[in-house]
Amino acid sequence: MPADRTVGGPAARHGRRWWPLLAALGLALLWCLGLLVVRWRLTNHLRYTFLMWNLFLAAVPLGLAFGLSCVRQRLIGVGLLTGWLLFLPNAPYVFTDFIHLSPYGRAPMWFDVLLLASFALTALWLGLVSLHLVHEWVEQHFSPLAGWGVVLLACPLSGFGVYLGRFGRWNSWDVLHRPVALLADVVAQLSTPADALRIGAVTFGFGGLLVVAYLIWWAQGAWQRRPVPSAPPSQ
């Protein structure tokens, strides 16, 4: 297989099939923003504005994945793939924002649950779309086995990234900006049994969530692509 093989990605070759999905994502983003605006009007308080930033970070891997699906050079693709992997944890990370939920907030608790769930599910959806695009790109440029290998590797790594973000307060770009300090912190926490246990639990929990959610996503797509049996000839 030649190293410089060029294969058009799914967004480049089948761009029109993504328009309904992008429209749905846009509607989900408007829904989240609308709920946040309603909360501002009800409480006259800017609590939960950080959700907009977290949702933006969750959308970054989708942008990188779309870029990846359009490139033809493997070297550029590997660079985009690396960036995608660094930012993918931001998608499941939004679920951890439920720790900010309080029964003593200025808005009804049910509304805050709705608000946080809307942002978390939209962020997860953004991550699943990006994971699907990456899965297809790796399959086309390497092999189906490599595609699933990337999926099964990216999910637990994202779970570990959620831990680093929530408990270590590290950001995606710290991997490049402060790699030595990040590595030292990880080694120190792994050396502490209680921290190591929490690292394993969070990594397995959020990594498992991504695996299960993506398998449902993939199975639904496979079911929709299955051939429709032809009707038997009329007598």
The whole-number pLDDT of residue 30 equals: 95
Please indicate, yes or no, if residue 99 is contained in any of the structural domains: yes
Tally of domains in the chain = 1
Q: Token pair of 209, please?
A: 């969530």
Residue 225 CB neighbours (<10 A): 7
In the predicted model, what is the mean pLDDT of the chain? Answer: 86
Cα 63 to the center of its chain, rounded Å: 11
Residue range(s) defining the domain that contains residue 209? 12-221
Please indicate, yes or no, if residue 2 is contained in any of the structural domains: no
Please indicate, yes or no, if residue 229 is contained in any of the structural domains: no
Tell me the pLDDT tens digit for each residue of 90-135.
Answer: 999 999 999 999 887 788 999 999 999 999 999 999 999 999 999 9
The whole-number pLDDT of residue 102 equals: 86
Q: Token pair of 231, please?
A: 């009707």
pLDDT at 166 over 60: yes
pLDDT higher for 180 or 221? 180
**Residue 210 CB partners (closer than 8 Å, separation 6+):** 91, 92, 127, 128, 131, 154, 155, 158, 159
Crossing angle of the two packed helices 109-141 and 74-87, in degrees rounded to 10 = 160
Question: Cα–Cα distance between 142 and 78 in angstroms, integer?
Answer: 12
Please indicate, yes or no, if residue 230 is contained in any of the structural domains: no
pLDDT at 230 over 70: no
Q: What value does the mean pLDDT take over residues 148-155?
A: 95
pLDDT at 192 over 50: yes
Question: Cα–Cα distance between 44 and 30 in angstroms, integer?
Answer: 20
Tell me the pLDDT tens digit for each residue of 16-34.
Answer: 667 888 888 889 999 999 9
The whole-number pLDDT of residue 119 equals: 97
Please indicate, yes or no, if residue 5 is contained in any of the structural domains: no
Please indicate, yes or no, if residue 1 is contained in any of the structural domains: no
Please indicate, yes or no, if residue 233 is contained in any of the structural domains: no
Please indicate, yes or no, if residue 189 is contained in any of the structural domains: yes
